[in-house]
A and B are shown apart, each in its own frame.
Chain A
Amino acid sequence: MFFNSLLTNFAALEVGQHLYWQIGNIRLHGQVFLTSWILLGALLVFISLGTKKMDNDPKGLQNLLEFLWDYIRDLARTQIGEKVYRDWMPFIGTLFLFVFVSNWGGALIPWRLIKLPSGELGAPTADINTTIALALLVSLSYFYAGLSNKGWRYFEYYVHPTPIMLPFKILEDFTKPLSLSFRLFGNILADELVVGVLVFLVPLILPIPVMFLGLFTSAIQALIFATLAAYYIGEAVEEHH
């Protein structure tokens, strides 16, 4: 009895329901784009405000942005290496900011107050399309980084240190985007579901620690995603002898 009602409750959370946009022949998940536009718009406004009047002697928002920039540079530099980190820093930083803003935006803003005809607004990273898109971009990036830096010698990586590694390394090219996308998707969706279920069952106090845990997880996931992306690129451009 209880289980049945729980299932119905789950259904009330509208898991896997989407707001479809039909453009010609293609169908889009509207809620993902809506939230991402709102969040990215806020991010861009924040950044333009912070970089509007840049000074050699930083004040206010500029301090925060410089801290962020320094953090991203350290991340890219430690993973990719001194030589090419500059080329990839914007990409790694964008991944970090996009994932972070999406995760936190999804967790912090009470999207439930905005009613959609179908589906609900939430973190863009809780949609598998977004995470796969990010993960495939990472895959393309590390291939591009390897090929552009080392030419065909990039493929030595597959038989390094012994040719026995070849099948595993090829397999890795598939598991990397798979694990990247599913880790992020699973974590964020699970967080949203846990909070949703708890709010549904015990609407008072109890969900708050879980919400904080969710914020923590969201930040950690952004860091993990950016770090792994940088690590993969670093692995591709690394010179081994």
Chain B
Amino acid sequence: MSDASPILRINALTKTFDDFTALHGIDLDVAEGEFLAIVGPSGSGKTTLIRLLVGMDDPTDGAIWLRDQRIDVIPANRRPTCMVFQSLALFPHRTVGQNIEFPLKLRGVAAKARKDRALELLDLLRLPRDYYAKRIQQCSGGEKQRVALARALAFDPEILFFDEPLSALDYRLRKTLEKELKDLHRRTGKTFIYITHSLEEAMVMSDRIAIMRAGRFEQIAPAEEIYARPVSPFVAEFMGEVNFLPLRAGMVAGAALSSAAQAALAGQGGTLVLRPESLRLNPQAADLTLTGTVAAAYLLGSRMQYRIDSPAGELTVEVLREDAVAGGIGAPVTLGCDLAALHLIAEARDAAA
């Protein structure tokens, strides 16, 4: 991200509503052609942020730069960016073609050129050309999605924003469209900024993920890094099932540490983050070992998930089905993991949880 100058730069952006602060002076750089996902629970400020970015609202303080142009002072209709709405906001009184041509018509593009562009976009979005004359009400959910994308791309905006456009769709269609969107990103080479509350969606599609919490960015990094090295328990939990073990002066209550682990953790304090799939059942050797009994077992298709009662509290473990424990509820088990799978969140960050 540092090699080229960013296409979008957010500088100390603040937004307050009466006595509530939705954004606390946040900073962000987005590289040209990047697919950035902004993820956060509802109320984290992500919707406020996107409304400021597209120009539906004015910031209280701070600035938004598009290359070397300051855009937060420009109204939305004159910004070279475009948003795909959560509701898609397709115009029900216009046909598919008229919807796609709408931004071009506003810019005074001739009818012939508009139609050519609309057909080109139908091709790009892999919609049949005869959809040009279709009514919006005749389109399926996935088709509407593609029409909305075509319309947003029509005037060739610099950046495309997405406000959870997939959240209302059923699971299977969502999965298909996630991949299509990623593919479209690759083919157009445009900068995509995508707001969602679903981390799963963000991980499938994006180059980088920005996690928002209470009007601030908690962590901005590629998906693998956020998953493996969360900066806070909040991020760790947001990224899926996780176990936390308190570390006090290099010791974990109720667990045995190997000499290598003792050396690595000596004198440190904080919270150890352990993903359920990095814990193994009844291991030959491990850097961290716990004992406990099976409290519950769930079949997750190709994997098994267990809840284990242990002296360190209730833990979640996920293993392949062939590694399932013999016996059942109440069976005693040993849990272990390697030093490499342990991620330590130091004391200071821990306080936030």
Q: Do A and B come from one complex?
A: no
